[in-house]
Amino acid sequence: MGIVRKDAVKDDITKFSSSSMNNATPILNDDEIEETINTNLNNISEAIDNSNDNGSGGGSYTGVNVGVNVVQYAPLTGSSYIPLSKFISRKKAVINVKNDDQKCFSYAVLSAIYPNKKHPERVSHYKDKLNELNMDGIEYPVSINNITKFEKQMKNME
């Protein structure tokens, strides 16, 4: 995001950007729109105030223009098996269950609940335990929005 200002006294244009304003802010739910806009407007206001305090001469500015880019955000979702990069795979710190269905979320949870020393990536270790997870009302592949629902359902099973 950039800000362009016109100095009313000098009749010149100053263009600046703040690194804090160049970050995209994902909005995942409709109820986050107003808060996100207000937060970003406050950040812009602070950037303008800071520029006035940092040697801009304290001049009077008119015609402040703010550019905002809006793009569609496609969050990651679960799916079937995707091979890890060699860099991550060599660390042996991630269990990547080799499944051919859309239940990767459930296999990931089960691999944490039932650690397996020998070939933990094999789906056969977990298929017979799928019924131990309360997936009622949660469709595969599991979206990020359903993780909280899953956690609540699992807590109720304890």
If you search the block for the tokens 């801009």, which residue do you land on?
56
Question: Whole-model pTM?
Answer: 0.53
Check residue 129 and report its DSSP letter.
Answer: G
Task: Specify the pLDDT at position 55.
Answer: 53
**Helix, strand, or coil here: 7?**
strand
How distant, in Å, are the alpha carbons of 16, 51, 63 from that of 10?
17, 16, 13
Model pLDDT for residues 85-102, shown as the tens digit of each residue: 999 999 988 999 999 999
The larger pLDDT score, comparing residue 154 to residue 20, is at: 154
Residue 121's pLDDT band (cuts 50, 70, 90): very high
pLDDT of 57 higher than 70? no
Task: Specify the pLDDT at position 92.
Answer: 87
Beta carbons within 8 Å of 100's beta carbon, 6+ residues apart: 80, 81, 123
Computed from CA positions of residues 25, 31, 33, 39, in that sequence, does the dihedral angle turn out positive or negative?
A: negative
The CA-based dihedral angle spanning residues 50, 25, 13, 57, taken in that order and rounded to the nearest 10 degrees: 0
pLDDT of 152 higher than 80? yes
